[in-house]
Structure 1
Amino acid sequence: MFLPRRLFPFPVSLLIVLFGITVPKLFDATLAVPPFELYDINDYPKLELMDVALHLVYGPFAYFFIYGYARFRIRGPSTIAWIVCCSLLGVGIEWLGTLVGVYTHKNWNLLYSFFVYGCLQGLLLVFSRLWLRSWETTKKHA
């Protein structure tokens, strides 16, 4: 009812969601711990249940990022605009999270987040297109 109609085969959708959950977690596991310790997630430097719940939000965000890209048939220079807009949305959500204490930035700046989001979203676009192409090729040969 509230979810968009399905545009992707289930295995590709699953890969998109897993990418959205796994890659940010890898970044956090690298940047939020010694020797870097650029930020804390939630109230405490140690992993909590709420941290896990927070990371599960990234999966649907990744799916809706790719869904919007496909649904609105974004191509060419509009792709950059789509990535910039979605990165700004991500930074806005992170900024709100900082205000309510979800994130504690130490040696981190939201501008860094903008560039990280942009790079990861570009990477997700490349991978999702490869996954879809691979799925279509596999279906033709099956």
Structure 2
Amino acid sequence: MDGNTIYDTHFNGNEWFVIGVTVIAFAFIWLLPRTFSSVQTAFNMLIGIAFGLVIDHTLNVPPFDLYDLGDQTKYEIFDMMSYIMYAPFGYWFIYWYKRLRMYDLLIIPYILLWVGIALGLEWMAVKVGVFHYKHGYQLIYSFPVYLFLMSTHLVMYRTAFAQHRWERPS
């Protein structure tokens, strides 16, 4: 489909959803005890943004073109600002992994729990008009995407911040 589909022309539910989710998620980061260094915090937040950008710019542009983001097919300034919403979720995913000591076999249900959280947030985002599915795309198709992203994030975090990497040689 060429052209620009306009879904909405007002500042309303989809923008407020992005603002609300972002503010609430960052507020909890600010309120709860700090457990990460500034490098770890930046790493986890940037992973959230980077994964959001890469996946959205893979799935919502041709040849796939499976959904639109925001008020219209064309990108608007607010659409780019919405990627900030992904930052705290990268942080929270690793925060609770460390805080709850989710090691060994507990990793599997932990990742599945976060996939469920991501699917729930995406479902709400669809309902308020942040995402507009096209070409038969359905929420369940996001399951393997989130499963891959969260598993990759955890592997990257564990590799980058493995204890032995930061020890000085004797």
Query: TM exceeds 0.5?
Result: yes
Helix, strand or coil: the match of 2:121?
helix
CA drift of 1:49 comes to 2.1
Verify: 1:19 aligned to 2:28, yes or no.
Answer: no
Cα distance in 2 for residues equivalent to 1:81 and 1:46: 38
Q: Does 1:48 align with 2:76?
A: yes
Q: How far has the Cα of 1:118 moved from its partner?
A: 1.2
* Stretches of 4+ aligned residues off by more than 3 angstroms: none
- Cα deviation code 1:85-132 (max 9, x no counterpart): 111111111111111111100132211112111110010000011111
* Match among 116, 119, 124 for residue 148 of structure 2: 119
1:83 to 111, 118, 121: 111
Which SS does the other structure have where 1:40 is aligned? strand
Deviation for aligned residue 1:139: 4.9
* TM-score for the superposition, normalised by structure 1: 0.90
Residue 52 of structure 2 aligns with an amino acid whose one-letter code is P
Shift of 1:53: 2.5
Tell me the distance in 2 between the aligned counterparts of 1:88 and 1:52.
25
User: Mind listing any 5+ residue stretches in structure 2 that lack a counterpart?
Assistant: 1-26
Unaligned 5+ segments in structure 1 are: none
User: Identity rate of aligned residues, in percent?
Assistant: 36
> How many corresponding residue pairs?
141
Which residue does 1:104 correspond to in 2?
132
Residue 132 of structure 1 is matched in structure 2 by 161
Whether 1:30 aligns to 2:55 is no
- Answer whether contact 1:12 1:131 (CA < 8 A) is retained: no
* Distance (Å, rounded) in 1 between the aligned partners of 2:165 and 2:65: 43
